[in-house]
Amino acid sequence: MEQGLEVALTDLQSSWNNVRHHTEEISSDRLLVRRGQAFNITLYFRNRGFQPGLDNIIFVAETVDSVYLDSEPQRQEYVVNDYGFIYQGNKNWIRPCPWNYGQFEENIIDICLELLDKSLNFQIDPATDCALRGSPVYISRVVCAMINSNDDNGVLNGNWSENYLDGINPAEWTGSVAILKQWHATGCQPVRYGQCWVFAAIMCTVMRCLGIPTRVITNFDSGHDTDGNLIIDEYYDSTGRILKNKKKDTVWNFHVWNECWMARKDLPPGYGGWQVLDATPQETSNGLYCCGPASVRAIKEGEVDLNYDTAFAFSMVNADCMSWLVYGGKEQKIHRDTNTVGNFISTKSIQSDERDDITENYKYIEGSPQERLVFTKALQKLKAGRSEGPHKADLQRSTPVPPNGDGPWSLHMPSLRPSDVVQVSLKFQLLDPPNMGQDIRFVLLALNMSLQFKYLKVNLSAQSLLHDGSPLPPFWQDTAFITLSPEEAKTHSCKIPYSQYSQYLSTDKLIRISALGEEKSSPEKILVDKIITLAYPGIMINVLGAAIVNQPLSIQVLFSNPLSEHVADCVLTVEGSGLFKKQQRVLIGVLKPQHRASITLETVPFKSGQRQIQANLRSNKFKDIKGYRNVYVDLRL
């Protein structure tokens, strides 16, 4: 009888396979293959050679590719690309923030696997957790919960307090690699600090590293509806300033989350594809601070009863906004706006540095009959779910109906705008670009749309905002008395000096100017506001000479102090996957007023292809002057 084969050596052909599976940047020594794609191994036998027809070798590897994208350009962008842009600012001034995802950098794959092993799921039941790791729905929820540290020793501590003395201001980060490596090096202690775009960027790195197509999404004017009625209540005083919300409802100036591509066999057909995942700790989901995956198509169609957290995701892009005037201990409804929430939903375009607007993926055109029908359907589903739940009595007690009867479950169309009733419109217009260090000049435009005289009293105010919508105290106020002839337009000029706003400015550099107008013959109040994001001049980066793998390269970084005062504690950070082995930190010290400076860094690129350099300058007066430069690195001369 022929002796059976004895395997002496198995060659996993790691280098050859990894190139074909686009994992060679992670390692050439370890086998790293992607689901749904063939790979080769070679078996060497000890006792004799393999004899076809006599010997039979069975090799079993079972995978289901539930994260497969048909498009090669999409696979390159959402799995392989290791840099990108995260959009910030406001809906009228959208700016790209460059980011180094670095999913192929040294040790990142091991840190991502460590992250899975540190999850509560693995700690409680390792066998079940490992058995479920083939499910992208499961693994995305685990990663989402582990990015924040609210329930566990997750990667990042969130902080919106403006006090970052014991950590890093979230605005200073330019990449994920430094954060993940710090978390690993400190024994998995949460890194201080992050806000929404940092949470989303870290999750993008981890998910791309694990082979799940992922992109970063920014939603401008993003709703945070805490009581699940799809209405964001905002409260104002008689000067027009926004008040802290007792219900914690807010409209974030922008909010950032992720979309991951996956099949959803746990949902009805048609709801696979892009799924919302939000690692920013806002509300709990099944007891943990994570959100999603929620089908983007389900959000658009108002199917808010589908898993996971679809109702919350729907409110972020399509809640209505109710404005209330608070005076004398009473609340007066000003207006219900159906268009405020969810604007210019943005992500980086495929293989391009341009912005891609994907708002139509999330909702029908604002104000269209279809959009209102979807909103009504979502409200009805939420109401049915609440009334059938165990806390029905609590719900009824906690949602009092306003005096005018327009309750939280009202399906009415939005009310007339006060300006339509009074027939006077108010509007702000900036006279200059809002640059940091300069006075802010603007006018209030008042237009009488009627054939009668109008006598207006307008209270104006300015206050800083955090990007999550939290208001800071007002620092500027004005009152205007305006008389308008029939169909007349007038302007009221305003100026806020830098010396006045500089000491009140938040890291987010947001100023909200508002006007609350009343006409003496009408009880209606007209409220208008404008969000201003103050801009810095960016960092310029020049690459001096050709970029070639393993050849020295000089990089010039030019920056300036935009202010008319000295700034101290200046630190420049520079990084870029495949270009720098680690983040570069250069201590600059003091910069004189309006001073321009440059430094030259030397590096040796170690990976070929399209790369990006990201830079940030911080000081005691500003935290996030940024710049970037794309670089193509050749393999040889």
From CA 164, how far away is CA 624, in angstroms rounded? Answer: 14
From CA 175, how far away is CA 84, in angstroms rounded? Answer: 10
Does 371 show up as a binding residue in the annotation?
Answer: yes
Does 366 show up as a binding residue in the annotation?
Answer: yes
**Cis geometry, peptide bond prior to residue 293 (ω within 30 degrees of 0):** yes
Helices and strands counted in the chain (H then E): 15, 29
Contacts of 56 (CB under 8 A, 6+ apart): none
What number of other Cβ atoms are within 10 A of residue 447's Cβ?
A: 16
Closest alpha carbon to 436 in 618, 252, 561: 561
Helix 136-147 × helix 196-209 angle, to 10°: 140
Element (H, E) at 204: helix 196-209
Does 360 show up as a binding residue in the annotation?
Answer: no
Q: Which residues pair with 572 in a beta bridge?
A: 586, 617
Q: Which residues pair with 356 in a beta bridge?
A: 347
CB 226 within 8 A of CB 247: yes
From CA 222, how far away is CA 312, in angstroms rounded? Answer: 11
Rg (C-alpha) for the chain, rounded Å, is 28
What number of other Cβ atoms are within 10 A of residue 155's Cβ?
A: 31
> What region does 398 belong to: left with phi over 0, alpha with psi -120 to 50, or beta?
alpha
Write out the catalytic residue numbers: 196, 255, 278
Type of residue numbered 628: Y
From CA 64, how far away is CA 596, in angstroms rounded? Answer: 56
Q: Which residues are annotated as a binding site for Ca(2+)?
A: 318, 320, 366, 371
**Which residues make up each annotated binding site?**
318, 320, 366, 371
